[in-house]
Amino acid sequence: MNIDISEYYTTEEWEKFKSAADKYETPFLLVNTDIVERNYKDLQTFFPYAKTYYAVKANPDKEVLNKLNNLGSNFDIASIYELDKVLAIGVKPERLSYGNTIKKPNHIEYAYNKGVRLFATDSEMDLRNIAKTAPGSKIFCRILTEGAETADWPLSRKFGCQPDMSIDLLILAKKLGLVPYGVSFHVGSQQRDIGTWDSAIAKVKYIYDWMSSNEDVRLKMINMGGGLPAPYLSKTNDLQIYADEITRYLHDDFGDELPEVILEPGRSMVGNCGILVSEIVLISRKSRTALDRWVYLDVGKFNGLIETLEECIKYPLYCEKKGVCEESVIAGPTCDSQDVMYEYAQYSLPLSLAVGDRIYWLTTGAYTSSYCSVEFNGFPPLKTYHV
Ligand SMILES: *Cc1c(COP(=O)(O)O)cnc(C)c1O
């Protein structure tokens, strides 16, 4: 395996991870919140006009939330449980957006009673629930967009509605005494095609124009969701290039006076703040002459690496041994046959690897610890330590 650490971390960051890693028994996630701070500041530099609502689900670690809170970030929450978590560290409800379009009426009411006034929706039933339990709140409607083919972790058709239906919903919101406030989209997570923002923004513009000319409603906000990349194996453009392009699309459609622009980064904010440290449990072949070697680790799909489903996210792997490499199947420790991370992705690992050697999974700060099972096969959830 020949990844170059310096493409992912500075020498100082890597040394810090390494010396902390030596203190613990695997598997565990190491998080450096200084990297979160850098990502936050980069985002502010490149999108100076936008407000950041960190998508808590990507990594709800308390130190990550504290760091972002101290930096002045806003937060996008997906449930009342995330709500409680951010309120507990002192985030004011004015800085929250309830971005999940799927929610129970009593959860909407709970959030409203805690002071949340900004809600996403994409269906009439949810909208009516919001009108009943969170009267007078600001509503933004999530639209469907293209981009599933070029996102490494696409969000499919589960969320959002057609632009025409979003118009119906925003009109209904007004009738129900809510504030039709804006439009949101998410082009798919780890989106490699920047052009997907262009067509999404054009759809938003169409909705804006329609609402102002036919309903005399001036929408105020465009929520561009997540989708910005973290550094995995497959290369993406730099954040600055994303920002320059997306900013250009916004001005092309909205002119000089942009509406309030919201970004909801998850992966790009915390992806590279963490590395997952694992150890080899077993190395085997399936026959005397088998060409492929199976390398089993103490971490797998069920304790942090769920995004290797269909080998969608290809994490950069690092081990200290060098020398002749061989393509290897990389699998987890549980007795579920789905617990194979990479069979087709052609990861090659040194032939000299031995049981007990460590494998470092880089860029694992997002969607790992929050996604792991509670005790499948008795394995405990992934621990997080800070450096
Ligand atoms: C998951 C999610 C995000 C974060 O997406 P990333 O691609 O991880 O940045 C943002 N907004 C909403 C509504 C989400 O569901």
User: pLDDT below 70 — which residues of the chain?
Assistant: 1
Residue found by looking up tokens 């996604």 in the block: 371
Pocket test of ligand 1: the residue of 145, 186, 370 to mutate, having most ligand atoms within 8 Å of its CB, is 186
- Residue 2 Cα distances to 148, 299, 347, angstroms: 30, 21, 10
Nearest CA to 162 out of 143, 179, 184, 149 is that of: 143
Q: What is the pLDDT of residue 156?
A: 74
Tokens found for residue 123: 């269906």
Between the alpha carbon of residue 339 and those of residues 260, 277, 312, 376, the distances in Å are 43, 17, 14, 11
pLDDT value for 1: 62
Give the pLDDT score at 291. Answer: 86
- Nearest atom (ligand 1) to Cα of 100: 13
Q: Is the CB of 188 under 6 A from ligand 1?
A: no
264 CB under 6 A from ligand 1? yes
Domain ranges in the chain? 60-265, 272-386
Q: Which of 40, 224, 264, 363 to mutate to test the pocket of ligand 1 (most atoms within 8 A of CB)?
A: 264
Q: Please state which CATH class domain 272-386 belongs to.
A: mainly beta
Look up the CATH number of domain 60-265. 3.20.20.10
DSSP letter for 245, please.
H
Residue 268 CA: nearest ligand 1 atom is 9
Protein residue with its CA nearest to atom 12 in ligand 1: 225
The H-or-E segment that residue 200 falls in is helix 195-214
Atom of ligand 1 nearest to the CA of 366: 8
